[in-house]
Amino acid sequence: MVDRVTLIERELNALYQVSRILSSTLPLKDKLQAVLEILHDQAGMRSGMLALREQETDALVVCAVRREDGGVVTEPVRYEPGEGLMGIILDAGRTVVVERIADEPRFLGRLALYDPALPFIGSPIRVGADELLGVLAAQPVDAELLDERGRFMEMVANLIAQSVGLLRGMEQKQRDLTAERDQLKQSLRKNYGFDNIIGHTSAMLRVFEVVRQVAKWNSTVLIRGESGTGKEVIANAIHYHSACAGGPFVKLNCAALPDNLLESELFGHEKGAFSGAISQRKGRFELAHHGTIFLDEIGEISPSFQAKLLRVIQEGEFERVGGTHTLKVQVRIVAATNRDLEEEVEEGRFREDLYYRLNVMPINMPPLRERLEDIPELAQFLLDRISKQQGGRPLEIKESGIRLLMRHDWPGNVRELENTLERAAIMSADGIIDRQTIALTGLEDEAILASPTTPKPEFDTEGMDEREQVIAALEQAGWVQAKAARLLNMTPRQIAYRVRILNIKMKHI
């Protein structure tokens, strides 16, 4: 027999040990098993068992057992809601003390764990007033001071509840974050998928084919083209269709920073490396580890910094500014430029070895003036985006507006087209964008000023029927439908429709 004072001392020591175990970094299952060992060794509560409630089914599932023979539960043991003594404890939400198991008809004995001649105590594991997480059960070695031992089991169950509740809350947050991350990745893949990049001209189809091929490998890619042609969109597409898609996608405009800031931005710096460096900072290359780094305007960096960049591209290693420790990264490099790098190399402004390191897989983005047939679809895509920016306002572009857009040379490419459409949307009171609305943006005047001395092409269709007119225009335009459409004052959609219904066989020159 154990007197009450001695029992309380043993229980207090056991509670201390339980709290230490539950605050450790052990996995949850190991923590719960260790708690049962403490109950057995220090508190005289043997044959301990812990069952946690499944959130989906409300059933109790045994997750930890302390057997006298040291055995473990090999098959999952479940108690459905209200089933057996364990289910009753969970439903009642209170501690149940049985003086002798053999006298309790609701006891199922599925674990073959308990001595039928001894008492049994089961306490619910509760978080707050309502949420029940499971049941803690054990068997006192004798029938003395059962009320005291019941209160002790409740205290242990409360400690477990705090640990399990906190862990489950963290797990739920982790699941939510994982789901949000996966949703964002799916959204990014959708936004930067090939279906979301407008272009059906042969020039753009060639770009798509190259992107599909380079996305399979980790080779360095150099995207070349005029400003506003969509080089960053292609860089995104390469990343989100590559094996690096699960890693970070880090961007930097190299033209925006001087050398000293560019070095710190790309490679990071150590604390105290320069005035204002109050803490260590990771650079873009570190942040892009196991992902992709997009270096826009790569042709703008100085020759002195080109040597530092060459090293990280060749070896995948660098030091932070002010540091001596060499860091290694695994990064897929995608660069972009609107400069003629061959001319820059010839003039000595760009290192030849860096040029060859970057130009492993070039992708040439066609300017908008070379893909005018894409303007109708591009305009609609951009208007849909502008509509969302303006609160879902309905916007519609008329054929007369499309015709005017297709007569412009677009030196600013897609970016200029988007700006023009946004101005037109602002100028339109009813959301209808026609030739007159676009002319209000100044586009018509700009087109005239861009080539004031260029004569309009002579194209006489008098005396021809419609089929002859379309064929004549196609022949004069080199069988390029967009150019033929301009000669006939049509849109590409209109001439494509006539080619189909008039059964005109297209020639490929």
3-state secondary structure of 97: strand
Sign of the CA dihedral 214, 288, 366, 490? positive
Q: Which residue has the higher pLDDT, 486 or 416?
A: 416
Quick one: pLDDT at residue 427?
Answer: 92
Residue 178 included in any domain: no
Quick one: which of 289, 290, 272 has its CA closest to 281? Answer: 272
Would you say 335 and 288 are in contact if contact means Cβ atoms under 8 Å apart?
Answer: no
Instruction: Kindly provide the b/e burial profile for residues 151-164, where b requires at least 16 CB atoms within 10 angstroms of the residue's own CB.
Output: ebbbebbebbbebb
Shared domain for 165 and 35, answered yes or no, is: yes
Residue 481 belongs to some domain of the structure = yes
Q: How many domains does the chain have?
A: 4
Q: Average of pLDDT values for 400-419?
A: 91
Identity at 464, one-letter amino acid code: M
- Examine residue 424 and state whether it is found in any structural domain, yes or no: yes
- Of the listed ranges 30-39, 158-167, 169-178, 477-486, the one predicted with least confidence: 169-178
DSSP helix/strand/coil, 234: helix
Q: In the predicted model, what is the mean pLDDT of residues 73-90? A: 80
Specify the CATH number for the domain of residue 47: 3.30.450.40
Name residues whose C-beta falls within 8 Å of residue 460's C-beta, 6 or more positions apart in sequence.
none
For residues 145-156, give the mean pLDDT: 90
Question: Is 189 inside any structural domain?
Answer: no
**Statement to judge: residues 83 and 40 lie in one domain:** yes
- Arithmetic mean of pLDDT, 77-106: 85
pLDDT at 169 over 90: no
Last residue of a domain, one of 344, 366, 388: 366
- pLDDT, tens digit, for every residue of 240-261? 888 888 889 999 999 888 888 8
What is the structure's pLDDT at 194? 67
Report the pLDDT value the prediction gives residue 452, as an integer from 0 to 100.
Answer: 42
Mean pLDDT of 265-290: 88
Domain identity same for 291 and 372: no
Residue 188 has a pLDDT of 64
pLDDT at 449: 41
What's the pLDDT at 195?
A: 65
Average pLDDT over residues 272-300: 90
| Residue 336 shares a structural domain with residue 399 | no
User: How sure is the predictor about 74, in pLDDT bands with cuts at 50, 70 and 90?
Assistant: low
Find out whether 74 and 83 touch, Cβ atoms under 8 Å.
no
Q: Which of 193-202, 326-335, 403-412, 462-471 has the highest mean pLDDT?
A: 326-335
Q: Same domain for 449 and 485?
A: no
At 262, list the tokens: 């560019």
**CATH number, domain containing residue 360:** 3.40.50.300
41 shares a domain with 138? yes
Provide the pLDDT confidence category of residue 11 given band limits of 50, 70 and 90: confident
Is residue 192 one of the residues assigned to a domain?
no
Mean pLDDT score, 222-245:
92
Task: Mark whether 443 and 373 lie in a shared domain.
Answer: yes
Statement: residue 209 has pLDDT above 50: yes
pLDDT tens, 335-356?
999 999 999 999 999 999 999 9
Residue 450 has what pLDDT?
42
Name the token pair of 177: 């974050």
Tell me the mean pLDDT in the region 77-105: 85
Q: 72 falls in which pLDDT band (50, 70, 90)?
A: low
Dihedral angle over CA of 107, 112, 118, 123, nearest 10:
-60
Q: What pLDDT score was predicted for residue 229?
A: 93
- Nearest-CA neighbor of 45 among 131, 113, 111, 127? 113
Residues 212 and 324 both lie in one domain: yes
Position 314 in a domain: yes
Residue 131 has pLDDT above 70, yes or no: yes
Where among 132, 148, 171 does a domain terminate? Answer: 171
Predicted pLDDT of residue 102: 87
| Mean pLDDT estimate for the chain | 86
Residue 235 forms part of a structural domain? yes
Q: Which residues pair with 140 in a beta bridge?
A: 45
- The pLDDT of residue 191 is 66
Highest mean pLDDT among 134-148, 332-346, 454-468: 332-346
**Whether residues 117 and 106 fall in one domain:** yes
pLDDT value at residue 35: 92
Q: Rounded to an integer, what distance in angstroms lies between the CA atom of residue 50 and that of residue 123? A: 10
**Residue 411 and residue 467 in one domain:** no
Sign of torsion over alpha carbons 217, 222, 226, 231: positive
Please indicate, yes or no, whether residues 162 and 290 belong to a single structural domain of this protein. no
Q: Report the CATH number at residue 380.
A: 1.10.8.60
| pLDDT over 90, % of the chain | 40
- Does the pLDDT value for residue 454 go beyond 60? no
> How much of the chain, in percent, has pLDDT values that exceed 70?
91
Judge whether 196 lies within some domain: no
Q: Residue 95's domain spans which residues?
A: 4-171
The dihedral of CA 16, 19, 21, 25: what is its sign? negative
Domain limit, last residue, from 171, 187, 221: 171
CA distances from 305 to 10, 265, 267, 310, 311 (A): 70, 13, 12, 9, 10
Say yes or no: 156 and 30 in one domain.
Answer: yes
**385-407: per-residue pLDDT in tens?**
999 999 999 999 998 899 889 88
pLDDT band at 176 (very low <50, low <70, confident <90, very high): confident
d(CA 393, CA 370) in angstroms, rounded, equals 31
